[in-house]
């Protein structure tokens, strides 16, 4: 049953990622066609990012309180309705800018809790000794969906316009919902100290705080997530301006946009293949920060060389390096976070990692509007490269290297004997980060 549940989740995440590749490209293309404004494209990402951040904070306990699979199905259904708005108005010839912004905001709000909930389920249906591989396979299937999706979405948009791509997005959500509803029934996460059928605002607020408590216990993990937020700021600034880059710098069409995204996804698959073969990596600190720093350097050079072949190479190599941070971060959270805290900690994890994305999207549009897209790429590359180099000097991050068995044992012991009965983990004995 657990194996079937794992592969069901794998299918659901892949279908969602495949559909999102179509929906994202379609909405960006429609906004640019309606306005021709880089600021408007940044504002589209902002309209999605702000609700996403708020829901990740306010809704963080829900993934541990509710039946996780059913909760994911409800979130996917709301995203389905969100995409139906611009598609329906577009088919009726009445599409306006606010339809796209409303769809992006509602979809972003649901996405805030969809992936954290999925990540919370995986440690319970995968072998704890093979979590790096389990998360790498998940990321690999997402990468495969992203590999096919953008290329097909770009070709479809170039041939028939953006509205058919939104239709593909809706069909993928329908298939994902059906897959979730067919999964074997998984037990609801245990909630010690929670009164069945009742609701206490004070308890709910305390559960929200539990997600932050984990990072208070593990400052090194908090530092890693701050690095993720800087990297994501850079990435969203670059990819939000990819349509203007393709149209104004490279002078190409939507098919080229899809090809670039596909090259990134292909690189991701290669990186995931390598990390899956390597299995458990002991020198996590150097590998994770080294990958972020190298991606930053590549992005800087990319801004200086306005060439389509070089852009393909840059996104491919950056995609290949990404899993060396992402999969290791996921496996660390899977091993160190107790099962009944997985939902809220993963929500806070995504909250921290994405906290700068709305700013990055809007600032990216403003910088590109004022100084040009190449200047944006240079700045967006230098920021994570410098931050990763500085983080390598922090001695507290060394606790992430080597065997983690002792830390896991302390977590289990603290969970059994902690002062709270809400799943809090205290006094793990973790070394403080510098």
Tens place of pLDDT per residue across the chain (434 aa): 566 777 888 888 888 888 888 888 888 888 888 888 877 877 887 788 788 878 877 777 887 778 888 889 999 999 999 999 999 999 998 989 899 999 989 988 888 888 888 887 877 776 656 666 777 777 767 766 766 777 788 778 878 888 998 999 999 999 999 998 887 766 555 554 444 445 677 877 887 787 788 888 888 889 999 999 999 899 888 988 888 888 889 888 877 877 887 788 788 888 878 887 876 777 888 999 999 999 999 999 999 998 999 999 999 999 899 888 888 888 888 778 877 777 778 878 888 888 887 788 788 888 988 899 999 999 999 999 999 999 999 888 888 887 777 766 666 565 444 433 333 333 333 333 34
- Please name which of 288, 290, 311, 293 lies closest in space to residue 301, comparing C-alpha atoms: 311
Rounded Cα distance, 207 and 213, in Å: 10
Rounded Cα distance, 411 and 272, in Å: 29
Rounded Cα distance, 363 and 241, in Å: 11
pLDDT computed for residue 210 by the predictor: 78
Rounded Cα distance, 2 and 184, in Å: 8
Rounded Cα distance, 145 and 137, in Å: 12
Whether the Cβ atoms of residue 392 and residue 289 lie closer than 8 Å to each other: yes
Whether the Cβ atoms of residue 153 and residue 21 lie closer than 8 Å to each other: yes
Rounded Cα distance, 402 and 172, in Å: 41
Centre a 10 Å sphere on the Cβ of residue 203 and count the other Cβ atoms it contains: 17
Centre a 10 Å sphere on the Cβ of residue 320 and count the other Cβ atoms it contains: 22
Rounded Cα distance, 356 and 212, in Å: 17
Rounded Cα distance, 12 and 118, in Å: 9
Token pair 């429609």 in the structure block, residue: 30
Rounded Cα distance, 27 and 108, in Å: 13
């Amino acid at each position: 049953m657990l194996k079937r549940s794992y592969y069901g989740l794998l299918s659901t995440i892949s279908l969602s990622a495949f559909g999102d590749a179509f929906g994202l490209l379609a909405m960006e293309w429609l906004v640019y066609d309606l306005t021709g404004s880089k600021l408007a494209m940044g504002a589209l990402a902002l309209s999605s990012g702000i609700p996403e951040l708020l829901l990740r904070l306010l809704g963080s306990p829900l993934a541990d309180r509710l039946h996780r699979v059913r909760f994911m199905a409800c979130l996917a259904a709301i995203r389905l309705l969100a995409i139906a708005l611009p598609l329906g108005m577009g088919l009726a010839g009445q599409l306006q800018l606010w339809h796209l912004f409303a769809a992006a905001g509602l979809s972003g709000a649901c996405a805030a809790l969809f992936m954290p909930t999925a990540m919370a389920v995986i440690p319970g249906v995968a072998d704890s000794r093979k979590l790096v591989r389990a998360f790498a396979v998940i990321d690999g299937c997402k990468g495969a969906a992203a590999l096919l999706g953008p290329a097909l979405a770009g070709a479809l948009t170039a041939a028939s316009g953006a509205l058919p791509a939104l239709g593909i997005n809706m069909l993928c959500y329908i298939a994902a919902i059906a897959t979730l509803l067919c999964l074997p029934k998984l037990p609801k996460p245990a909630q010690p100290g929670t009164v069945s059928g009742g609701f206490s605002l004070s308890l709910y607020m305390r559960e929200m705080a539990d997600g932050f408590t984990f990072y208070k216990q593990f400052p090194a993990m908090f530092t890693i997530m701050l690095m993720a937020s800087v990297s994501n700021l850079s990435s969203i600034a670059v990819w939000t301006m990819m349509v203007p880059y393709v149209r104004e710098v490279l002078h190409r069409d939507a098919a080229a946009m899809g090809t670039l995204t596909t090259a990134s996804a292909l690189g991701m698959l290669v990186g995931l293949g390598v990390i899956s073969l390597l299995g458990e990596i002991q020198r996590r600190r150097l590998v994770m920060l080294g990958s972020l720093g190298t991606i930053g350097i590549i992005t800087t050079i990319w801004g200086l060389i306005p060439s389509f072949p070089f852009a393909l190479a840059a996104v491919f190599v950056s995609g290949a390096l990404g899993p060396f941070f992402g999969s290791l971060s996921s496996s660390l959270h899977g091993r160190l976070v107790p099962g009944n805290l997985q939902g809220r900690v993963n929500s806070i994890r995504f909250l921290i990692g994405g906290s700068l994305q709305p700013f990055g999207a809007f600032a990216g549009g403003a910088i590109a509007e004022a100084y040009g897209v190449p200047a944006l790429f240079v700045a967006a590359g230098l920021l994570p490269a410098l931050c990763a180099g500085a983080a390598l000097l922090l001695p507290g991050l060394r606790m992430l290297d080597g065997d983690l068995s002792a830390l896991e044992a302390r977590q289990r012991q603290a969970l059994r004997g902690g002062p709270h009965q809400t799943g809090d983990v205290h006094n793990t004995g973790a070394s403080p980060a510098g």
